[in-house]
Structure 1
Amino acid sequence: MILTHIGLVIAIIGIFLMFRGGMMDMLLLVMACTLLGGSAAAQLPALGGSSVPPAPFALVFALARMTLPNSQRWREARGAIRANAWLAIYALYGVLAATMAPSFFRDSIQVTAMRATGPTRTLFDTVPLAPSPQNVTVTVYLLGTVCAGIVAYLAMQEEGAGRRFVKMGVIMAWIHATLGVLAAVLKGTPFDLLVDVLRNANYTQTDQTAYGMVRLTGIFTEPSAYVGFAFGWFVFLLECWLRDILPRRTGPAALALALVLFFSTSSTAYLGLGGYGIIVGLRLLLAPQHLDVRKGLTLAGAALALLIAVCALAFLWPAFIDLMSTILRRATIDKQDSESGIQRAFWARIGIDAFFASYGIGIGPGSFRSSSFVTAMLGSTGLIGSLAFLAHLARAFRPLRISTYCGPRLGRQFGENTMIGAAGGWAALCVLIPAAVVSPTCDPGGDFAVFAAISLALRSLPLPRAAAVAQRPSVATCRRPVPAHSG
């Protein structure tokens, strides 16, 4: 393994925090490294020059922090493992399937290889199912996702960890949005040198344009990866703002990410925004009393301002409006008939075929390339793995808890930690929306694991007395204010 300049910096900071920092400091280092989506911390010449991303590399130091002789977190790791038990079962079953299923079901189905070993003739080239190095690669990422959840759960046990995580999210949102805009606006200037220094991984780095406009990629490998990362943090920060968690910071940061997503020209971003918009609309329709009046007025004002801006642009610059309408139409309505859309649909169907060809067992993570997390999960881990993942998602999201849906008025009785945890639950659920149409594997990713762990950890802390009473009724009773001293 050969460290890159980025890996060397991470190693120095990681070793320092191992002895001088706590688990929350280690988690913040890992989350900061997720901003480097197109970077490599190390190169592995023995594996064909494969790259080790910065976040998993930093995660190694976080795990090492747990094992230090003077660490008090090792005993608490059992609780973190129990909290992430269903996710661990999902990953371990994936390891078992990746080890045995490709050999057991060899040649029984044609699949699209995760990594092509020769020239491709068409968009629909397939190969017979067989074991491959990608089975190992994807299972390692799966285990890393579980470790990220364990580290995040442990970090949330520290005093004030929830608020520190929100503040870190705000900083990351501004950095991510700024890098995306600068990389696009300053394309062809010396700023490209900085981008090239940071995008040092052995991935296919794409610099795409759409109708003469440079698409937003920042320092990520492609637009879909860039907006996928932005979308998860957008949901988390907006949910925090709706619950009055540092509203003067989370609100503007969420707005910045929303603008980046809107102007990204990515179908992944529009699908995510549309899906989340429907979810928020249903929540407001079924329980409008949970939205603070000021929040409602702010959202309405933002929508009105956007409408006025669009009308002004239509009057002052008609060509721009025509361009944006064309991009939106091509990225949404016409997407399914495009070459890329047809290819993605073909890849997604392979997961369904693999599920039935393996009799619901799964042919193992890394055995085929998909274009949907859902079909990748079904085809790779079968019925057992899919049920385990859904159990973890339900446990983190807690759909029957009042705190999942309530706004700032009732949220004050539950406490800040519970509200941050609820925001994490919504983020964990919503990051799966873009993943459902772009993810090539069954790995939900470290962001999902961290957001889910935030919910699991912070919502398991002791509640105020009034909040404990409020949790007993069904969600429908949330329409009536809970007395401050009921009991």
Structure 2
Amino acid sequence: MEAYAVTPIFGLILLLAMIGGARWLLMLTAAMIPFGMMAVITLPSVGGLSLLAVNLSAAALVGWGCLALIGWVMAARPIRIEPATIALLCFAGYAIFSATVLVRLFAGESMVFALARGATGVRVSTFFAWGKVWLGPSNANISQTFYVLLACGFFVAAVHVLTRHGAGFGARCMALAAWLNLVLGIMDLAALDTLLSFIRTANYSLLNEATVKGIPRIVGGFSEPSGFASASAMFFGFFASAFLHSRRRGDAVLALGSGTMTVLALSSSGFIALAVVGVALAPRLLRLRARLRRPEIIVIAVIGGILTGVIAALLLFTSAPDMVASVIDDLIFSKTESSSGMERTAWAMGGLEALRDTWGLGAGTGSLRSNGMIFVLLGSVGIIGTGAFLAFLFLAFGGRARGANAAQLSNARMGGLAVLSTMMLSATVPDPGAPLMLLAAIAVASRRREPARAPEAASGARDYAGHIAGEI
């Protein structure tokens, strides 16, 4: 086991959060989302597996949730299960089945792109080094199934926390994470790599020196631009929607800053996520115009005039138009012609081939590397698992909410739309991840109407169990 300088600091913070209760664990997990490359412990005996801070925080919250569940049972309280939870449990159950049974049932029947980078296998193209191996059980089946179960447990625990403390508490957790993401992005922009190395501890390939047409790409607390762009686009969608509802300056700053960081990451998935969210928010922007007061219209006109002048100057007196056109062409229009684009296309097709070779059942969670969430799900958990996950998304983000919760539901949908847009383009494993699960929990909690309950007094085994249940 390998520890780092950040390990004892994070351990102390985690301990304090556990003492504070489930809401502090949820806030800590949200705060760790921008630290996508911060490993607390690395296990060389398990192929150098890095245990990320966000996953350990989520695991602590799940453990607390298990104690709460025991408390509810001991207190003989009714347990309410959301329809979205049932769909997610079905997805997790099939993920376990596929990783333990299907991978052995179809072993040797299909060739797949393995998750392990060391498994080069049989070369299938001269444009990239990744090769195919025969389908069979591996350690990746265990690790990826664990991540799926962790995401499922985190969602359930987060729903209970937000049901008690309100969906607005989830928005505060998102705000904390968004501010941290901005700080890390600014630090990377300022080339403070020495400081950032303190939290970039995972044994991933660090791509902070990557450029596009000589323009450096920002990665923040992540290992590569696409991860930072995905997180930044999520915060942009959430807080752009929040600003249109509240018109608070803090929401506007977070939305503008997160959108800027998404652009500076120079990731094709980030640009597409911004475009998707922009199109989704366009009707609300048009409706907002009718509700603006005169001072607000003047401020917007002044800012718009300044931006228009700056853009016009750049277009007329610099080579910016050619540079921007070249960057967009490389990142989006010519992406499939690059070695990376061809490699990811081959991964996506490999997922469909695995679906075909397994008769639509899937090759097993962690059995293959594909590209794009749909192709990953179809190749790994087949039609049944994919259907369960899509049902979860519909049940979690669908429906209506009333009053202030309607805004929270809308914000969660915009953030979820951004995350799903990037996952549909760049996901390689079936792990839903903490960001999407947190947004889904906010959406579910915003539709609940039951009032929050105060924790019961702890006296005796029964009252103690009720107290633990009340905490979460």
TM norm structure 1 = 0.83
**Letter of the 1:57 counterpart:** L
Q: Name whichever of 290-299 and 111-120 sits farther off.
A: 290-299
Q: CA deviation at 1:65?
A: 2.8
Change (3 A) 1:340 1:426: same
Q: Is the 8 A contact 1:73 1:154 kept in 2?
A: no
CA distance 1:266–1:146, change in 2 (3 Å): same
Equivalences for 1:84-123 in 2 at 5 Å?
Answer: 84-118=85-119, 122=126, 123=128
Give the alignment of 1:226-375 within 5 angstroms: 226-244=228-246, 247-281=248-282, 283-284=283-284, 289=287, 293-294=291-292, 306-316=307-317, 318-375=318-375
Asked whether 1:182 is paired with 2:219, we answer no
In 2 relative to 1, CA 304–78 (structure 1 residues): closer, same or farther, beyond 3 Å?
farther
Q: CA deviation at 1:78?
A: 4.0
Does the aligned pair in 1 maintain the 2:41–2:52 contact within 8 Å?
Answer: yes
Q: Distance in 1 between matches of 2:100 and 2:304?
A: 51
- Residues 146-175 of structure 1: CA distance to partner in whole angstroms, max 9, x if unpaired? 12211211211233x433332332332232
Query: Which structure is richer in relative contact order (CA contacts within 8 A, separation 6 or more)?
Result: 2
Counterpart amino acid of residue 131 in structure 2: D
Distance 1:434 1:67, change over 3 A: closer
Aligned to 1:146: 152
Please give the alpha-carbon distance, in whole angstroms, between the structure 2 residues aligned to 1:322 and 1:308.
19
The answer on 1:166 being equivalent to 2:167 is no
Match of residue 445, structure 2, among 457, 474, 477: 457
Q: CA deviation at 1:325?
A: 2.1
The equivalent of 1:419 in structure 2 is: 407
Picking from 433, 436, 440, the partner of 2:424 is 436
Aligned runs of 1:183-202 on 2, under 5 Å?
Answer: 183-186=188-191, 191-202=192-203
Alignment partner of 1:367: what SS?
A: coil
Letter aligned with residue 387 of structure 2 = L
The alpha-carbon distance between structure 1 residues 303 and 426, as it changes in their structure 2 partners (threshold 3 A), is same
> 1:197 is paired with a residue of what secondary structure?
coil
Q: Which whole-Å CA distance do the structure 2 matches of 1:292 and 1:249 have between them?
A: 22
Cα gap change, 1:369 to 1:229, in 2 (>3 Å): same
Structure 2 counterpart of 1:56:
55
Count of residue pairs brought into register by the alignment: 440
Distance 1:170 1:158 in 2: 19
SS across alignment from 1:452: helix
8 Å contact 1:421–1:454 — kept in the other structure?
yes
Q: What percent of counterpart residues are identical? A: 26
Gaps in structure 1 of 5+ consecutive residues: 404-413, 464-487
419-428 vs 291-300, which deviates more? 291-300
Deviation at 1:303, TM superposition (A): 6.6
Note the C-alpha offset of 1:362. Answer: 0.7
Question: For 1:111, what is the secondary structure of its paired residue?
Answer: strand
Structure 2: distance between partners of 1:301 and 1:417: 33
| Mean Cα deviation higher: 82-91 or 364-373 | 82-91
CA 1:70–1:445: 2 relative to 1, 3 Å:
closer
CA distance in 2 between partners of 1:41 and 1:248 (Å) = 35
**Gap change, CA 1:95 and 1:290, over 3 Å in 2:** farther
1:16 partner letter? L
Cα offset, 1:302, TM superposition = 6.8
CA contact (8 A) 1:7 1:54 kept: no
Could you tell me whether the CA contact under 8 Å between 1:397 and 1:426 is conserved in 2? no
Residue 462 of structure 2 corresponds to which residue in structure 1? none
SS where residue 80 of structure 2 aligns? helix
C-alpha deviation, 1:320, in angstroms: 3.4
2:436 is matched with which residue? 448
Residue 134 of structure 1 aligns with an amino acid whose one-letter code is A
Query: Equivalents in 1 of 2:30, 2:220: separation in Å?
Result: 17
Give 1:130 deviation, angstroms.
Answer: 1.3
Match of residue 204 from structure 2: 203
- Classify the secondary structure of the residue corresponding to 2:115: coil
CA distance in 2, matches of 1:343, 1:394: 31
1:375/1:328 Cα in 2 relative to 1: closer, same or farther (>3 Å)?
A: same
Asked if structure 2 preserves the Cα contact closer than 8 Å seen for 1:136 and 1:366, the reply is yes
Q: Give the Cα separation in 2 of the matches to 1:128 and 1:302.
A: 59
1:136 aligns with 2:142: yes
Q: Which amino acid aligns with 1:294?
A: L
Deviations 1:89-132 (A, max 9, x none): 11221111011112111122221111132557542521111111
Aligned to 1:30: 29
CA change 1:72–1:312 in 2 (3 A) is farther
**2:454 paired residue number:** none
Distance (whole Å) between structure 1 residues aligned to residue 388 and residue 313 of structure 2? 51
CA contact (8 A) 1:374 1:442 kept: no
Contact kept? 1:149, 1:450, Cα under 8 Å: yes
Change (3 A) 1:421 1:291: farther
Q: Which amino acid aligns with 2:371?
A: S
For 1:141, the aligned partner's letter is: Y
User: Which letter maps to 1:384?
Assistant: I
For normalisation by structure 2, the TM-score amounts to: 0.85
Gaps of 5+ in 2: 452-472
Q: 1:80, 1:153 within 8 Å by CA — same for their partners in 2? A: no
- In 1: Cα distance, 2:70 partner to 2:8 partner: 24
CA contact (8 A) 1:80 1:154 kept: no
What is the alpha-carbon root mean square deviation over aligned residues? 2.8
Matching residue's letter, 2:278: G
Give yes or no for contact 1:242–1:291 (8 Å, CA) kept in 2: no
Partner of 1:410: none
Question: 1:203 corresponds to which letter in structure 2?
Answer: Y
